[in-house]
Amino acid sequence: MKIEGASLQRTLKNRGYRITRQRQVVLEVLRSTNTHPDAHWIYQRVRRRMPQVSLGTIYRTLGVLKETGLIQELSYGSSFSRYDGTPENHYHIGCIRCGKVADVDLPLLRTLEKRIKPREDFKVTGHRLEFSGICGDCQ
């Protein structure tokens, strides 16, 4: 999938970054899959198109893409994160056996944020709701 260059460049430039070939390819790889891969998986796919790329470059690129809001980082308390090419907030379900993560087709429940009792020292800016279960392959 080709990411629209002008939109990508504008998003990065507004946050003080320039578009690089590595950023373009990482984003294309991530948005071309419906899985939620880890950095090593992304690295293997990017290397097919850019054999000289390093794993360190992949991690730095993922950090920039996350910081600019172009991707999401999904941390599940393990030693590695997974990444989602869909930057809009949405829900996920994870398999407790194999670790596979998938999107849940459910509208955001924005009323949950409003139901939290306001506190002086905490402002709710969003929420993350995740479901867990056993995927079809592991059942």
The predicted pLDDT at position 66 comes to 92
The predicted pLDDT at position 4 comes to 57
- List of domains in the chain: 5-84 (1.10.10.10), 91-133 (3.30.1490)
This prediction has a pTM of: 0.79
The predicted pLDDT at position 5 comes to 61
How far, in Å, are 29, 31, 64, 81, 86 from residue 73 at the CA level? 15, 13, 11, 6, 10
User: What is the mean pLDDT for each group of 10 consecutive residues in the chain (139 residues)?
Assistant: 63 85 93 91 97 96 92 78 88 88 85 73 76 92
The predicted pLDDT at position 27 comes to 93
The predicted pLDDT at position 105 comes to 87
